Amino acid sequence: MKKILFVSTRNPFSNRYSGDVIGANKIVNILKKKSILDVVSLDDRENFSQKNIFIFKKPFFLHQVFYVLKSLVFFQPMQFGFFYSSKMKNFINDNAINYDLIFFYHIRSSQYLPKNYYGKKIIEMGDLYSKNYNQTFKNLNILNPLKYIYFLEGLLVKKLEREIFIDFDKIILFSKKEIKKIDKLYKKKISQINISIDKINKKYLFSKKNSKILFIGNLKYLPNILAVKNFTKNILSKLKKSIPNIKFEVVGEIYNFDKFLLSINKDVKCWGKQKNLDKFIKGSFCGLANLEIATGIQGKILTYMSYGLPVICSKKTASNFDDNVISYRNDKDLIDKIKKLKNDKKFSNYISKKSLKHVHKYIWKKVSKEYIKIINI
């Protein structure tokens, strides 16, 4: 059996319910079945109590600031500094020779690639993050200091992506459309794998009594909170004129200040992070993915689809789903299509059935086989 090292800046065994933790955990579980696997990652506390699992402590805030500045000096992404551990770096450097393959999860974990490692090197990037940061830069107000941070990080990540295309043997991306934009020189190294869902839930049932619009996502992630605030400010009040009982429900981790601001509107309810989404699907007539800053494939869309809940998307988020979701051109078009989903049973059920049919190819049981092929175990 091959001996593999899995490197992640998020602990795959953490109780933190987030997309990156869930994704890392899934990959670790299939690798464990097919290889001799060691896992190295960061978390709030150091933990070496379990065999083959080495959890190093994330740096303190002041250390993070120092490492961020150090990253900038060496023209590296700032996020490297937030997820750097010298102990973890030394451990990987000292032990890399013992592994046939090292699997790096997420672009920021690439900083732990040993210089003189000659085994197979695979990285799951997921998305082209430089594109995401560039979109964020363009969408932020000129007076917002974050605009210039995203501009700089975008340039540094773009440089890093080029280095990854050179240094790694295999690079995993989710979106076929993003792969098309990559230089032909590196395309042989790229493997497309779908982002995954665990199962088909089929909980959505059309009813004219359904009054909720649902948004699922991490609200600490800037594109998500911008989308929610924009919908609350510019769309919800206009919808209320024709749908008086409408409610906008937001599910996902959120800062207290943002929760307070959104909750000023009585028609908005922020539920925070939730593991079971069944009760939120009940009573909803559409899932919203109105992000104007988006790359790759949005997990929230697959979640809606897995329940058969009709999805309304911005053009940026709809691009990987063809006509299996509803996209809109502008605010007026968005309002009109939400109204149609609310009142037109035939149309809603048509979109729901298409969603359920399309989402089958994203089930983890199928997707996991692609990882096994790429890793060749």
CA 261 vs CA 42, 228, 232, 303, 341: distances in Å: 33, 11, 10, 26, 28
222's enclosing H/E stretch is helix 222-234
Tell me the C-alpha distance between 192 and 172, whole Å: 6
Return the number of other C-beta atoms located less than 10 Å from residue 106's C-beta.
Answer: 20
The dihedral through the CA atoms of 148, 150, 153, 157 has a sign that is negative
What single-letter DSSP state applies at residue 281? Answer: H
Which among 268, 280, 278, 207 is positioned nearest to 239, based on CA atoms? 268
CA 365 vs CA 32, 194, 198, 321, 370: distances in Å: 16, 12, 8, 20, 10
Q: What is the pTM of this model?
A: 0.88
- pLDDT of 158 reads 95
Tell me the C-alpha distance between 119 and 364, whole Å: 27
Digit-coded pLDDT (tens) for 193-214: 988 988 898 888 899 899 999 9
Digit-coded pLDDT (tens) for 167-199: 999 999 998 888 887 877 787 899 999 889 888
Tell me the C-alpha distance between 373 and 213, whole Å: 39
- pLDDT of 21 reads 87
Residues in the chain: 377
Q: Could you give all domains of the chain from N- to C-terminal order, each with its CATH number?
A: 3-192 (3.40.50.2000), 212-362 (3.40.50.2000)
- pLDDT of 160 reads 96
Q: Which residues contact 373 (CB under 8 A, 6 or more apart)?
A: none
Tell me the C-alpha distance between 339 and 57, whole Å: 50
Q: Which residues contact 23 (CB under 8 A, 6 or more apart)?
A: 105, 124, 126, 195, 196
Spans of the chain below 70 pLDDT: 17, 377
* Half-sphere CA count of 226, side-chain side, radius 13 A: 13
Chain-centre distance for alpha carbon 128: 12
What single-letter DSSP state applies at residue 75? Answer: T
- Contact yes or no for 268/236 (Cβ under 8 A): yes
The rounded percent of the chain whose pLDDT value lies above 70 is 99
